[in-house]
Structure 1
Amino acid sequence: MSLVANPRELTAVSADGSPIHVEVYGPEGAPAVVLAHGWTCSIAFWAEQIRALSTEHRVIAYDQRGHGRTPGVGRPGHSTRALADDLEAVLAAALAPGEKAVLAGHSMGGMTLMAAAGRPGFREHAAAALLCSTGPGRLTAESLVVPLRPGGLRTRLTRGILGARAPLGPVTPVSRKILKYATMGPGTAPERVDTCARIVHACPRAARVAWSHVLAELDLDAGVRELSLPVAVLVGTADRMTPPVHARELARALPRCVGLVELAGMGHMTPVEAPEAVTAQIRQLAVTYLGVKEDA
């Protein structure tokens, strides 16, 4: 899954001075969509959505700090505040003053939207949002990666696995099987597993470990309540990382939930596992809240 050729590249500067790598695809002046990827991923994770949407939309995607082409930072630079700062910087750099966009966040990208919900820059630019395979907290307690009954042991083991400092190393048949079990549905096509494995294994160890500690302590319930714009929620029924319990709780807690979609048999990596379904949700939000024509 290669990206559309020749994006326009920008560098957004976050509140602490960190540079954030941004890529813009599609026609200048077209209705805007902003994509925020998840933990251990990169812009490349959104390749199918960029390809499908950039014919009629201006698609803005960025690498979270320490991922892809955005440089890493020291441990103090990893926090939900930093996630929100970086998103605000991207919106300011890529959108005109007052310009509205549909924002889509997968996993940690969805948490980014929750963290930024009360920010002036977010409210200035966000018309609607998609929370994709994500949750606001209790991530290690609710995770199903470790096949044990809920409780303290499972939570501790999950925390240890997700925060492991060991390098992932090259992609191998064994590492693909582990990744598929933990993050993808049982019926996921081998080529899509390969795509995710290449992206995840490319994430620097320091960023992976630092962000795992942030996610383990996550508490964004207040941010969910501040998401007063229209929000759709999407999850795979076989998601072990952020199981459907999170999506259902989000749907109940959001002030303006406009839909909950549960994709049968899909795991955590829904933009890669079910690209058409994720793209369709983003496109529908653009039709409804940006005035994009139905045949776009």
Structure 2
Amino acid sequence: MNRRDIAVTSADGSSVHVEVYGPEGAPAVVLAHGWTCSTRFWDAQIWDLAVDHRVIAYDQRGHGGSPVPDPLAAGKGYSTEALADDLEAVLGAALGPGERAVVAGHSMGGMTIMAAARRPLFRQHAAAALLCSTGPSRLTDEALVVPLGPGRLRTRLSRAVLGSKAPLGPVTPVSKRILRYATMGAGSAPERVDACARIVHACPRAARHGWSQVLAGLDLEADVRELRLPVTVLVGAADRLTPPRHSRAMAEALPHCTGLVELAGMGHMTPVEAPEAVSAQIRELTLTYLGAKKNHLVNDRPVPEQTVKEEAEA
């Protein structure tokens, strides 16, 4: 699979690492990952979509190949405005003038899309969006990671757990069990739990803590209503970090919600837990709003419809 990396500079001078896959001129997809993840979180979607899409995946600041923000500028380096700035910078650098893309965001990536809703460059380039396993506000109030009933104690404990500065250490059987409980469905395949654990444990501690403070005080409710483009909402029914009530409320508030998909048995890490379902939703959006050609599966790989017709005629 062909890949090229580009270095993008955001509004405050921060560097954003961007990876581009797939053929030039193909329908464009932009992928924004979530808190403590990286572009590697989207590997299944990249592998699937880059056959006939141009896939643009980037590391949120402080994750993967994007440097950790300067701690002396924490108020600016860690903010929803910074998330929106970075997404706009990626769109401006990776897309041509007037070119549009489907933008998919998981967890904090979905919050990035909400934060950018009013931005002119986002509105210019985004044809449709997928909000995947995310929420706009009250994240620590609604999280179900701590097995207590709703209330101040659960909120306080959730904030302490999710905002901990403690190092995660190496990936071990115990750490994988903890991660699966907090972020994945009970039936998640061991290899997928292992993949998620390695991605999450690779996140720098400073970035993990810095962004946890932003997420704890998040309020993007008004921005959801400013997403004036077609939006599909997807969530795992067993999501403990951003439970389905967030997705149902967003679907009600969005001006143009194209569908609410709840995946039975899946947790928060839906692009890794249910990669085919997430890719299918992105493909449906590109087909509908970018005019991408419908594909057929041959040996479990997507093949353009035109190719199938040509082979049949031959």
Q: Which residue of 2 aligns with 1:139?
A: 139
Deviations 1:32-54 (A, max 9, x none): 00000000000000000000000
- Are positions 1:9 and 2:5 aligned together? yes
Per the alignment, residue 107 of structure 1 pairs with: 107
Whole-angstrom distance in 1 between the partners of 2:103 and 2:222: 19
1:148 is displaced (CA, Å) by: 0.2
User: What code does the residue aligned with 2:102 have?
Assistant: V
TM-score normalised to structure 1 length: 0.98
Partner of 1:88: 88
Counterpart Cα distance in 2 of 1:124 and 1:97: 9
Report the secondary structure of 1:226's partner residue: coil
Q: Distance in 2 between matches of 1:32 and 1:129?
A: 12
Measured after TM superposition, the shift of residue 222 of structure 1 is 1.2
Alignment TM-score, normalising by the size of structure 2: 0.92
Counterpart of 2:60, as a letter, is: Q
**1:1-296 to 2 correspondence within 5 Å?**
4=1, 6-74=2-70, 75-76=74-75, 77-295=77-295, 296=304
* Secondary structure of 2:234's aligned partner: strand
Shift of 1:247: 0.4
User: Helix, strand or coil for the counterpart of 2:255?
Assistant: coil
Give deviations 1:273-293, integer Å, cap 9, x for gaps: 000000000000000000001
Please give the alpha-carbon distance, in whole angstroms, between the structure 1 residues aligned to 2:100 and 2:186: 38
CA distance in structure 2 between the aligned counterparts of 1:34 and 1:196, rounded to whole angstroms: 21
Q: Distance in 1 between matches of 2:176 and 2:210?
A: 23
Q: How many residues align?
A: 292
Q: 1:156 & 1:254 partners in 2: Cα distance?
A: 30
> 1:100-140: per-residue Cα shift (whole Å, max 9, x none)?
00000000000000000000110010000000000000000
For structure 2, the residue ranges without an aligned partner over 5 or more in a row are 296-303, 305-314
List gaps (5 residues or longer) in structure 1.
Answer: none
Between the aligned partners of 1:15 and 1:100, the Cα distance in structure 2 is: 21
Report the Cα distance in structure 2 between the residues aligned to 1:250 and 1:33, rounded to whole angstroms. Answer: 22
Q: Secondary structure at the match of 1:46?
A: helix
SS in 1 for 2:69: coil
For residues 7 and 225 of structure 2, what CA distance do their matches in structure 1 show? Answer: 31
Measured on the aligned residues, the alpha-carbon RMSD in Å equals 0.6
Q: Aligned partners of 1:220 and 1:51: how far apart in 2?
A: 32
**AA matched with 1:248:** R
Shift of 1:67: 0.1
**Whole-angstrom distance in 1 between the partners of 2:90 and 2:218:** 22
What SS class does the counterpart of residue 16 from structure 2 fall into?
strand
> Which amino acid in structure 1 is aligned with residue 268 of structure 2?
H
Cα-to-partner distance string for 1:127-164 (whole Å, 9 max, x where unaligned): 00000000000000000000000000000000000000
**Whole-Å separation in 1 of the counterparts to 2:227 and 2:241:** 23
Distance in 2, matches of 1:156 and 1:95, equals 42
Q: Kindly provide the CA deviation profile for residues 51-73 of structure 1, in whole angstroms up to 9, marking residues without a partner as x.
A: 00000000000000000000011
Separation in 2, partners of 1:100, 1:281: 17
Task: Provide Cα deviations, 1:179-215, integer angstroms capped at 9, x if missing partner.
Answer: 0000000000000000000000000000000000000
AA aligned opposite 1:159: R
How far, CA to CA, are the matches of 2:258 and 2:252 in structure 1? Answer: 11
